Copies of this chain bind each other. A is one copy, B any other.
Amino acid sequence: MPRIRILTETDLRRVMALSPELIEAIDHAFRQLASGRVVMPKVLSMAIAEHNGEVDVKTAYVPGLDGFAIKVSPGFFDNPKIGLPSTSGLMMVLSSRTGQVQALLLDNGYLTDLRTAAAGAVAARALARPDATSACIIGAGLQARLQLQALTLVRPLRTALVWARDMDKAHAMAAEMAQVLGIDLRAEADPEAAVAQAEIIVTTTPATAPVLQAAWLRPGQHVTAMGSDQHGKNEIDPAALAIARYVPDRLSQTREMGELRAAIAAGVIAADREYADLGAVLAGAAPGRLDASDITLADLTGTGVQDTAIATLALARAGTAGTMIET
């Protein structure tokens, strides 16, 4: 009978954190995706409207890797009312040669949180001004914290501002993360003022109407929008896409579920307009920031190739940890 390694969230937290090694793995994954050799089907997405839930399944096969991940990500947005997190899920790792399940990573979404934050670091490293020292985080949840931490790994951040719809949460995050990161971090009640003071802006909300207005942006800024990963979401004023150098994680996906979807729907961008993916920019095959005064905008919807990359790294680092089950 086949044997399957089972790693729990506890096991995975022991070996995986936001690290330079992870950022390199995700950077490499985006380059491979843009190389055209990766097989990455469209996300399987199922809405369960009756329970305000949705579940996504993502996967990608990367030639040369022993395994590939299939990730199941549920988001059930009434869960907090009963004391449960909205998101959960797991990753499976299957053998690239035989298809047999090699490992189950019962991470409750932990690896997704990490690989999403790492993608923010990769995007900022590729697109933000190298000398950027100030950031603005829109949102004050877990991903807001992780995105800020990720920025500190790729840019010499000294100051950051947090704005959130619920300013109590913004204050709590500022107090907590100022300690953790040792930077000058404050909550700012006026989002326009917060954006005006930052060279890097990261939006991390599940908004369905823009929280960042195009008129607020000024030359030299970089924006990473990572909240939109479903058809109904929209964090960025569509007009921003007309003035920024726009870089999708995966164009075919951002057209359907990213900020680009909203901009196309608003008539600001033509539905068939082509943009080079982040991986092409990383590989030098497409332009990123050309000038210190450029406004750059990375639209991150989350890709299966990131899941395969982090699952592969997690399995390697876990060594013989976890439980083997004979099926």
Contact = CB atoms under 8 A, between A and B. Distances in A.
How many copies of this chain does one complex carry? 2
A9 interface: yes
A59 interface: yes
A1 B90 CA distance: 13
B39 A48 contact: yes
A19 interface: no
14 contacts: A1-B9, A1-B10, A2-B108, A8-B326, A10-B327, A42-B44, A53-B96, A53-B97, A53-B99, A74-B94, A84-B98, A89-B99, A89-B101, A90-B92
A163 interface: no
Nearest to A108: B327
Q: What are the nearest 8 A-B pairs in CB distance?
A: A74-B99, A44-B44, A76-B99, A106-B327, A8-B327, A41-B46, A88-B100, A9-B327
Interface string A32-62: 0000000111111111101101010101010
Given A72-B70, A94-B74, A61 B48 contact: yes
Query: Interface majority SS on A: helix, strand, loop or mixed?
Result: strand
Given A1-B10, A10-B1, A76-B98, A41 B44 contact: yes
B61 A44 contact: no
Residue of A10, A84, A98, A107 with highest tally of chain B CB at under 10 A? A98
Contact of A39 (B46, B74, B100, B108): B46
Given A8-B326, A39-B47, A88-B2, A79 B106 contact: no
Given A6-B325, A39-B47, A108-B2, A99 B75 contact: yes
A4 interface: yes
Nearest to A11: B327
A81 to B, nearest CB: 11
A44 B72 contact: no
A84 to B, nearest CB: 6
Interface string A68-84: 10101011100100101
A10 to B, nearest CB: 7
A40 B55 CA distance: 12
Contacts of A100: 74, 76, 84, 88
